[in-house]
Structure 1
C-alpha cells in the first residue's frame, strides 16, 4: 500500500534544466571543457558535486571541487533570478494540492542543491505541502544510487514498498527501483532522450495522475 509520494524536482515540478544547462556550459567554456549533448545527457539526475568530481578526474582540473561547484552555482543563480517566465510544470501544482487535500504526506528527493531547492520552493510557495526536502548534495553518490530515496523513506518513517516515486530521468527511475519503490515515469517534453521503460507506469502529463490512482498503484506490483 502506498502511503507517501516522493517527488523529484527538476523536470517533474519545474523545468530548471535549461538554466542548469546554461550555467554548466558557461562554466565548461571557462574551463575549456569540450562537452557533447550526449555526454551531458548522462549527467541528468546527478548532483552537481558528482558531476564535478567526475570532470575534475577526467580533465585534470586544478580547481578543487568546492570552487568548481560555487562557480557553476553563481552562473545558475544569475540565470534563475533573471528568468521571470519560469513556472511550475503543467499539472504539478494541481497534483500537489490534490494529494495534500487527501492527506497524503509528500517528500522531495532531488539531486539539486539545498540552495536551488530553496529558490524553487520559495518562489512557488511549496514549503507547506512537503514534509521533508532531501538534497542530493548530502550523499556521496547520485542517482542511480538509491540512497537519496531510502533516506526520504526513513524520514517519512515508512518502508520503501510504501513509497511511490515520480521521476523524469533514467537515473532517477533506476534509483527508485533499486530502493524497492514503485515508480511513475514522467515522460515530458523536457525528458527527451531519457529511457523510462523500467518505470512501473509512465505518463506524458502530470494531469494524468490522481491521488486515488497513485495510492492504489502499489497493489499493481
Structure 2
C-alpha cells in the first residue's frame, strides 16, 4: 500500500533524542529522590512536558507544573539546538517521500522551542506541511482525539493517515483513533517491540524500510 499522508513522531522516530530526553526527565525525578517504575519512559513519552510535569507532581515532586516545565525546557534546549541528530536514513527517506508527492507532518510531545530549531538545523523543517506539538491541541498523545483533530487539520480521513511512532502507548492510541500505524524501532522501546507489533499495521527497524510500504 502506498500512503499519501504521513504523521511522524519526533523523539525516537525522526531523531535520536531519547537518551537526552530520558536524561532530562529522569534527572528531575532522581534529584527529587522520587521512586518510579521501570516503565516510566513508556508512560511519560506521549505526555509532553506539561503532562509529564503533572505526572511528576502526582509522584511527589513539590515544584509547580510551571517550574517543572521551565526546568525541562532549560535542560533540553542546548541538546536539541546543537547535539541531537536525525536517525539513520531519515533525511534521505523524507526527501524521497516528498519527491513522490506525499504529505509529511509531525506530531510530537516536544514543545516548539526545541522542536522547530532542531528540525531546522537538520534541514528537515521545510519538508513538512505541518509541524505540531501536543501543545497546539491542548492535549496529549494518550488522547485519541488528538489524532482525529490532526487528520481534520490535514483535511484527510483519519484512516488515510499513516502514523509513525516508537512509543507503544502512542501507537496504540493512534490505532484506536482509526489511523494506520507503523511502529519504529528505538533502543529505548526495545522491550516493547512485540507489544507495538501487536497493535501496529507495520513495523520498521530502519527508515529505509518505509519506502516499500
SS in 2 for 1:47: helix
Aligned-residue offset at 1:109:
0.8
Aligned-residue offset at 1:168:
1.1
Please provide the CA RMSD for this pair: 2.0
What is the TM-score of this pair, normalised by structure 2?
0.88
Please name the residue that 1:148 is paired with. Answer: 146
Whole-angstrom CA distance in 1 between matches of 2:78 and 2:85: 17
Please name the residue that 2:32 is paired with. Answer: 31
From the superposition, tell whether residues 208 and 3 of structure 1 become closer, same or farther in structure 2 (CA, over 3 Å). Answer: closer
Please name the residue that 1:218 is paired with. Answer: none
Please name the residue that 1:128 is paired with. Answer: 126
User: Is the contact made by 2:5 and 2:102 (CA closer than 8 Å) also made in structure 1?
Assistant: yes
Whole-angstrom CA distance in 2 between matches of 1:186 and 1:81: 23
Please name the residue that 1:118 is paired with. Answer: 116
- Which segments of 5 or more consecutive residues in structure 1 lack a partner in the other structure? 215-221
Counterpart mapping for 1:14-163 below 5 A: 14-59=15-60, 61-81=61-81, 83=83, 86-163=84-161
From the superposition, tell whether residues 113 and 62 of structure 1 become closer, same or farther in structure 2 (CA, over 3 Å). Answer: same
Whole-angstrom CA distance in 2 between matches of 1:58 and 1:188: 26
The superposition leaves residues 64-101 of structure 1 with CA deviations (integer Å, 9 ceiling, x where unpaired) of 21111111211112434563xx3211121111001100
- Which segments of 5 or more consecutive residues in structure 2 lack a partner in the other structure? none
User: Is the contact made by 1:23 and 1:73 (CA closer than 8 Å) also made in structure 2?
Assistant: no
Alignment: residue pair count:
209
Aligned-residue offset at 1:199:
0.2
Structure with the higher fraction of residues in helix conformation: 2
User: Is the contact made by 1:3 and 1:104 (CA closer than 8 Å) also made in structure 2?
Assistant: yes
Whole-angstrom CA distance in 1 between matches of 2:29 and 2:129: 36
SS in 2 for 1:45: helix
Whole-angstrom CA distance in 1 between matches of 2:188 and 2:206: 11
Please name the residue that 1:219 is paired with. Answer: none
User: Is the contact made by 1:47 and 1:113 (CA closer than 8 Å) also made in structure 2?
Assistant: yes
What is the TM-score of this pair, normalised by structure 1?
0.85
From the superposition, tell whether residues 100 and 81 of structure 1 become closer, same or farther in structure 2 (CA, over 3 Å). Answer: closer
